[in-house]
Amino acid sequence: MKKITVLDIGKMKGEGEKIPVLTAYDYTMAKILDEAGVPIILIGDSAGMVFAGYKNTLSVTMDEIRYHTRAVANGTKNAMIVADMPFLSYQTSVEDAKRNAGLLVQEGAEAVKLEGGVVVADTISAIIDMGVPVMGHIGLTPQAIHRMGGYKVQGKEKKQRKRLFDDARAVEKAGAFSVVLEGMPSDLAREITEAISLPTIGIGAGPHCDGQVLVIHDILGLYDNIKPRFIKRYANLKELISSAVNVYVEDVKKGRFPGKEHSF
Ligand code: KIV
């Protein structure tokens, strides 16, 4: 395995090779994903919900994403590391955005992701001009949950579809190396994927995107506060962990642990 870069990701689209992306927030998980050959590891601001238990992603801070990025970078050899820019780290000014993107790179990120299309196009260009690749994120953008009136599929109406198309074009023109398409009808995601040159990474956007991204806690069955339809569960680690912990608790209570082999 070799280090994955933006060039490899672009090539994957060119060659029709699908791009699997997963989130990680800590060293141990990043090492597992990296060794499994996941090409892109995303330090998503979803950390706020699945790691810290916040009710949405809006309270996630730069300090938190910096900490998670450092931990993930320590566990990653080959995957490309993309760090999410949290709410308020790029919306306030282009200067803030550049500085915060730079801070994430100093922690080990090799690219940053930020939400929005037309309205953040100048910000995306400015970060890229600094030498930092950017992944866009359009459609259902969780940092705009209050404006959208909840986690609602976007682009169902004609006017909205056009807006999302404009967003995709703006992110492409700004120079992003890829774009997340979240929560939109499959046929719209397909049209966007066919129309733009950069790889599209879908989440709740159907099968036609160039890649797919999911939150690691969701696919492993660790987080069950919400279970949107677009999630596929590949394991039930919550159940596995619960039964292991129950056995441990019983072992300690009954004096079965530690045994001779664990003692000095
Ligand atoms: O925060 C996150 O994990 C994300 C992905 C799910 C796209 O933005």
pTM above 0.85, yes or no: yes
Whole-angstrom CA distances from 122 to 93, 107, 146, 198 are 10, 24, 24, 18
What is residue 1's predicted lDDT score, i.e. its pLDDT?
76
Low-confidence stretches of the chain (pLDDT beneath 70): none
Position 147 scores a pLDDT of: 96
Q: What pLDDT, on a 0 to 100 scale, did the predictor assign at position 30? A: 99
Residues 201/211, Cβ–Cβ less than 8 Å: yes
In sequence order, what are the residues at sequence separation of 6 or more whose Cβ sits closer than 8 angstroms to the Cβ of residue 96? 89, 90
Q: Per the residue annotation, which of 110, 182, 194, 250 is the catalytic one?
A: 182
What ligand 1 atom has the least distance to the C-alpha of 57?
A: 1
Of 25, 26, 45, which is best to mutate to test ligand 1, by the most ligand atoms within 8 angstroms of its C-beta?
45
The class level of CATH for 6-233 reads alpha beta
**Tokens 């919900």 found at:** 49
Contact between 18 and 45 (Cβ < 8 Å): no
Nearest-CA residue for atom 8 of ligand 1: 44
Question: How far, in Å, is the centroid of ligand 1 from the Cα of 227?
Answer: 15
Residue 251: what pLDDT? Answer: 98
Q: Would you list the DSSP string of 51-77? A: TT--SSSTT--HHHHHHHHHHHHHH-S
182 a catalytic residue: yes
pLDDT tens sequence across 191-228 = 999 999 999 999 999 999 999 999 999 999 999 888 88
pLDDT on residue 183: 98
Atom index in ligand 1 nearest the CA of residue 180 equals 7
